[in-house]
C-alpha cells in the first residue's frame, strides 16, 4: 500500500445513525454534529432521508437540515436517502445534486422497508431518473449479504437486480450489509462478481458491525478498492425495518486503521473523534465504535 492510496469515506451517521434513535434529536444538535463532521474534513455525507414521518419520525426535519447545509457548504458532496418518488421530489427541491433511492435484494425486506415489490420499486426508480436527470443517483441495494426474513442472499439475483437498474441508467451502487452478516470472503467474492459483470459501474460498500465484522469487511473493501466506503460516526446506526439491526462500522475506527496503514482520507482523526464523543454524550443509542470506549487514562494515539 503506498502513501498515496486515497480512500473515499461517505459519512452516513446523520441518516443511518439518527434514523434508529427513538427519541427525537433536536435539529440544532443534528446540525452541530453534521458541522463537526464537516470541519473534520469529510467530503461526502448523507445528511438525512426524505421518508414518511409515519415510517421514521426522526427524519421529519429533513428539509430544515438540507436547506441549512446545502447552500453553506457548496464544496461538499451531500446526498439524501429517498424511498420513493415523493421523497426524490422533496430532495430535488432542497437542492440535492445526488440522491440515494433504496431497494432491497430481498423482496420481503423491500416490502417491509418501502412497501413495494421489486417491480414497483424499479418503476419508481425509473420515474425518479427520468424526472430529475440532473440529479446523480447512487443506488443503495439493501440486504445484499443476508436478510432478517430470507436468510443468506445469493449473487445471481443481485446481478439480475443490477442488470435491471443499469437498464434504467443507474451507474453507481452501494452494496449494503443491512444486518451485519457479511464476512470477508463473501464481500470480496460479491464485489468481484459485480465488477466482472459490470466493469463500468461505480461500487461502494456499507457494512454494519453487528457480528464484529465491520472493520475487517470495510478495510478489505477499501483495499480492494471500492469507490467509496460508507461509515457512521460512533458506529451508530441500523434499519428500523430489520429487527435487531445495529450500528455500522464506526467512521473514526476505520479512519484510524486506514491512516495507520498509510492510506489517506483527508479527514482529521482527532477532530472526528471529538465529534463522535460529543454525539455519544448527547444522543442515546447503540454505538459500535471502539474509540468511544477507550479509557481517558490512555494516551491519545493519532496515526
Residues with active-site annotation: 239
Find the shortest distance in angstroms from Cβ 224 to ligand COA: 24
| Residue number with CB closer to ligand COA (124 or 265) | 124
**Judged by CB under 6 A, does residue 114 bind ligand COA?**
yes
Nearest residue to ligand COA, scored by beta-carbon proximity: 87
**Judged by CB under 5 A, does residue 16 bind Zn ion?**
yes
Residues 193-212, mask of contacts with ligand COA (x by CB under 6 A): --------------------
Binding site partner of 252, from ligand COA, Zn ion, none, Cβ cut-off 5-8 A by kind: none
81/63 Cα distance (integer angstroms): 12
Contacting residue, 7, 9, 38, 51, with ligand COA by CB under 6 A:
51
Length of the chain in residues, anyone?
303
Q: Give the range of 47-55, 179-187, 200-208, 211-219 binding ligand COA by CB under 6 A.
A: 47-55
| Residue number with CB closer to ligand COA (46 or 217) | 46
Q: Give the range of 111-119, 192-200, 247-255, 267-275 binding ligand COA by CB under 6 A.
A: 111-119
283/101 Cα distance (integer angstroms): 27
Find the shortest distance in angstroms from Cβ 237 to Zn ion: 5
Find the shortest distance in angstroms from Cβ 242 to ligand COA: 8
What residues numbered 271-300 form the site for Zn ion, per CB under 5 A? none
**Judged by CB under 6 A, does residue 84 bind ligand COA?**
yes
CA 293 to chain centre: 23
Q: Give the range of 15-23, 113-121, 194-202, 282-290 binding Zn ion by CB under 5 A.
A: 15-23
65/6 Cα distance (integer angstroms): 29
HEC string of the chain equals CCCCCECCEEECHHHHHHHCCCCCCCHHHHHHHHHHHHHCCCCEEEEEECCCCCCCHHHCCHHHHHHHHHHHCCCCEEEEEECCHHHHHHHHHHCCCEEEEEEECCHHHHHHHHCCCHHHHHHHHHHHHHHCCCCEECEEEECCCEECCCEECCHHHHHHHHHHHHHCCCCEEEEEECCCCCCHHHHHHHHHHHHHHCCCCEEEEEEECCCCCHHHHHHHHHHCCCCEEEEEHHHECCCCCCCCCCCECEHHHHHHHHHHCCCECCCCHHHHHHHHHHHHHHCCCCECCCHHHCCCCCCCCCC
| Residue number with CB closer to ligand COA (8 or 115) | 115
Residues 52-71, mask of contacts with ligand COA (x by CB under 6 A): x-xxx---------------
Q: Give the range of 9-17, 23-31, 95-103, 290-298 binding Zn ion by CB under 5 A.
A: 9-17
What sign results for the dihedral spanned by CA atoms 113, 119, 120, 126? positive
Find the shortest distance in angstroms from Cβ 270 to ligand COA: 31
Judged by the rule CB under 5 A, the positions of this chain that interact with Zn ion are 16
Applying CB under 6 A, the residues found at the interface with ligand COA are: 19, 49-52, 54-56, 81, 83-84, 86-87, 102, 113-115, 142, 239, 241
Amino acid at each position: 500500500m503506498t502513501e498515496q492510496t486515497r480512500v473515499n469515506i461517505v459519512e452516513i451517521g446523520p441518516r443511518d445513525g439518527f434514523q434508529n434513535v427513538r427519541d427525537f434529536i433536536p435539529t440544532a444538535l443534528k446540525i452541530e454534529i453534521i458541522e463537526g463532521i464537516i470541519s473534520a474534513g469529510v467530503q461526502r455525507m448523507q445528511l438525512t432521508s426524505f421518508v414518511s414521518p409515519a415510517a421514521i419520525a426522526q427524519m421529519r426535519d429533513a428539509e430544515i437540515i438540507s436547506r441549512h447545509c446545502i447552500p453553506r457548504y457548496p464544496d461538499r458532496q451531500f446526498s439524501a436517502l429517498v424511498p420513493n418518488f415523493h421523497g426524490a421530489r422533496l430532495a430535488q427541491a432542497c437542492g440535492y445534486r445526488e440522491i440515494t433511492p433504496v431497494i432491497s435484494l430481498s423482496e420481503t425486506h423491500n416490502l417491509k422497508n418501502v412497501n413495494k415489490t421489486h417491480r414497483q420499486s424499479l418503476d419508481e426508480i425509473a420515474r425518479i431518473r427520468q424526472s430529475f436527470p440532473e440529479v446523480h443517483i447512487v443506488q443503495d441495494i439493501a440486504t445484499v449479504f443476508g436478510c432478517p426474513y430470507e436468510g443468506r442472499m445469493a449473487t445471481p439475483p443481485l446481478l439480475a437486480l443490477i442488470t435491471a437498474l443499469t437498464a434504467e441508467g443507474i451507474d453507481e451502487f452501494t452494496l449494503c450489509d443491512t444486518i451485519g452478516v457479511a464476512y470477508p470472503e463473501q464481500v470480496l467474492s460479491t464485489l468481484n462478481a459485480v465488477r466482472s459483470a459490470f466493469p463500468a459501474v461505480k461500487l461502494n460498500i456499507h457494512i454494519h458491525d453487528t457480528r464484529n465484522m465491520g472493520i475487517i469487511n470495510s478495510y478489505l473493501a477499501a483495499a480492494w478498492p471500492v469507490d467509496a466506503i460508507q461509515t457512521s460516526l460512533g458506529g451508530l446506526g441500523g434499519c428500523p425495518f430489520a429487527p435487531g439491526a445495529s450500528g455500522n462500522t464506526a467512521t473514526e475506527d476505520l479512519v484510524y486503521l486506514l491512516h495507520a496503514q498509510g492510506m489517506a482520507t483527508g479527514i482529521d482523526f482527532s477532530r472526528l473523534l471529538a465529534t463522535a464523543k460529543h454525539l455519544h454524550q448527547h444522543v442515546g443509542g447503540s454505538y459500535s465504535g471502539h474509540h468511544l470506549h477507550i479509557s481517558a487514562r490512555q494516551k491519545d494515539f493519532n496515526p
